[in-house]
Amino acid sequence: MGFKVCIFLLLLGCLLLVPERTMARDMKRASIVIQGASRIAETDENFVCATLDWWPHDKCNYDNCPWGYSSVINMDLSRPLLTKAIQAFKPLRIRIGGSLQDQVIYDVGNLQTPCHPFRKMNSGLFGFSKGCLHMKRWDELHNFLTKSGAIVTFGLNALHGRHKLRGNAWGGAWNHVNTQDFINYTVSNGYVIDSWEFGNELSGTGVGASVSAELYGKDVIVLRDIIDKMYKDSKLTKPLLVAPGGFYEQQWYTKLLEISGQDVVDVVTHHIYNLGSGNDPQLVKKILDPSYLSRIAETFKNVNKTIQEHGPWASPWVGESGGAYNSGGRRVSDTFIDSFWYLDQLGMSSKHNTKVYCRQTLVGGFYGLLEKGTFVPNPDYYSALLWHRLMGKGVLSVQTDGPPQLRVYAHCSKGRYKICSWLAIIFCAQSLANMRNLENDLKQISMAMMFAVMGLVTNYLGPNRPAAKK
């Protein structure tokens, strides 16, 4: 029986930087065996996901302000290239959320506070005041996402009504009225939402703010009741309830699942920023060091284990991951070198039963899949698109006797490609020692990766070749 194997090879940049004499001396053979008879894990059909954030234009890190007008509240939704970039995935899952999510109020119902945009405020979370989502903007945003064919996950404010206690800790009852009014408006207008997510990075010690697992568990029960009631008589499909959208801490996540109980939380989300800060001068070395990248595998494994033991009705998602936090790494996160990290993350997380992986961001910061001003795709956009179109749901077991620098991931294929698609990543550990001019060497890697990915785009994503004439 004939079959076609689809291959990703991220190795050309390495070869350009390794001297010929070194290549000849260090050349090794490696065998790769793919077990196609059974699956070791399964992802969602729409595994690849991207986020839209709330940051205003004056969000800055390390003397750079890389957000511009790329957020939920100020992005120009009329740009054709933006629409086409989303439509190319047929469909793309989009998660609306981020750090300012728990400071968003919705201009609907009997709102008791003024509806102002975000503004800088030293005493506010992350240096900003509360901000408001006007329903006119929500109408525009939802119409745009519908036109683009996106699958929408919307992150809700989980701090409304609470007060700060000490340190990062917040307490008090969650005021659900404004959220309930917003969901009611959404349902009444027939807006399709795939999932509602509760809160952003409030788990464990939190980032900026934290809420105890006891309070969080009780609140998601309230949110579940709201969702059930709002969609009871609606023709719309009832959305999933997603939580907590934070960094994994085993004890906190376990308690959340135990307190909320069976069939309350449908999806358990956690965030990944395993490369550290965006201004780290060692960022490129981390990306090209397979032993460093492997450290995060334990988190994927433990999240899945916690869910299996304490909430087997739920599924694990990576709700947000940009590699480097604080807007990503300038001239790193938006270049081809980042695909070594990104594609390895997609492969590694899939092996541990992760159903969805949301890249921070679709547009905004240095880690955007699209450039913030023009919406021209950055290199990782093509990596995301190729994965989405070629790598199917079924994750297959792979064995190799190659060195640690060789990573191989295999999935059942999508579409017209039979048997399996597989991804091989060869990290440039040796080449780092030979770098003389970092900027020029990165340009070489970028150019090589560009030609490799463009070749794949031409071969696999282009129009079908005409059948041979008899």
Mind telling me the catalytic residues? 201, 320
Instruction: Output the pLDDT for position 426.
Output: 65
**How many CA atoms, within 13 angstroms, populate the side-chain half-sphere of residue 191?**
24
pLDDT of 255: 98
Q: Are residues 333 and 445 both part of a single domain?
A: no
* Residue that the structure tokens 């999508």 belong to: 414
What is the rounded average pLDDT of the residues 364-385?
96
Indicate if the alpha-carbon torsion angle 41, 44, 46, 47 is positive or negative.
negative
Q: Is residue 1 part of a domain?
A: no
**Whether residue 388 is found in the same domain as residue 430:** no
Could you give the count of Cα atoms lying within 13 Å of 137 in the half-sphere of its Cβ? 17
d(CA 260, CA 244): 12
User: Within this chain, do residues 337 and 429 fall inside the same structural domain, yes or no?
Assistant: no
Same domain, 457 and 319: no
Instruction: Kindly state the percentage of the chain with pLDDT values over 70.
Output: 84
Calculate the CA 283 to chain-centre distance: 19
In 10 A of CB 189, how many CB atoms?
A: 11
- Length of the chain in residues, anyone? 470
- Domain boundaries, position 436: 416-463
Look at strands 276-277 and 170-171 and give their pairing.
unpaired
Both 341 and 441 in one domain: the answer is no
Count of structural domains within the chain: 2
Q: Is residue 429 part of a domain?
A: yes
Kindly write down the DSSP assignment for every residue of 378-422, as one continuous string.
PHHHHHHHHHHHHEEEEEEEEEE-S-TTEEEEEEEEPTT--SEEE
Handedness of CA 324, 327, 330, 331 (dihedral sign): positive
| 3-state SS, residue 426 | strand
The stretch 122-143 carries a mean pLDDT of 96
Same domain, 230 and 377: yes
Same-domain pairing of 324 and 457: no
Nearest to 292 by CA among 279, 302, 301, 282: 282
Q: Does 328 lie in the same domain as 190?
A: yes
DSSP string, 23-86: HHHH-----EEEEEEEEEEE--TT-EEEEE----TT--BTTB---SS-STTT--TT-HHHHHHH
Distance, first Cα to last Cα, the chain: 22
Q: What are phi and psi of 53, to 5 degrees?
A: -105, 175
Predicted local confidence at residue 7, as pLDDT: 46
Residues 69 and 192 in one domain: yes
The pLDDT assigned to 29 comes to 84
pLDDT of residue 366: 97
2 is a domain residue: no
Window from 49-63, 199-213, 409-423 with minimum mean pLDDT: 409-423
For residues 108 and 160, state if they share a domain. yes
Residue 25, pLDDT score: 54
CA-based nearest residue to 3, from 421, 464, 468, 467: 421
Q: Is the pTM of this model over 0.85?
A: yes
Residue 409 domain flag: no
> What pLDDT score does 461 carry?
44
Q: Is residue 150 part of a domain?
A: yes
Does residue 105 have a pLDDT over 50? yes
The answer to whether residues 273 and 325 touch, using CB atoms and an 8 Å cutoff, is yes
426-440 tens-digit pLDDT: 665 444 444 444 444
User: Which of 400, 424, 441 is where one domain is finished?
Assistant: 400
35 domain-assigned: no
Asked if 455 and 358 sit in the same domain, the reply is no
27-86 pLDDT tens trace:
678 888 988 888 999 999 999 999 999 999 999 999 999 999 999 999 999 999 999 999
Does residue 470 register a pLDDT over 70?
Answer: no
pLDDT recorded at residue 414: 84
- Give the separation between CA 172 and CA 175, rounded to whole angstroms: 9
Is residue 190 located within the same domain as residue 304? Answer: yes
CATH number of 222's domain: 3.20.20.80
| Sequence letter at residue 390 | L
Question: If we measure between CA atoms, which residue out of 243, 427, 217 comes closest to residue 340?
Answer: 427
Answer whether residue 22 is part of any domain.
no
Residue 161 region, left (φ>0) first, then alpha (ψ -120 to 50), else beta? left
Quick check: is 248 in a domain? Answer: yes
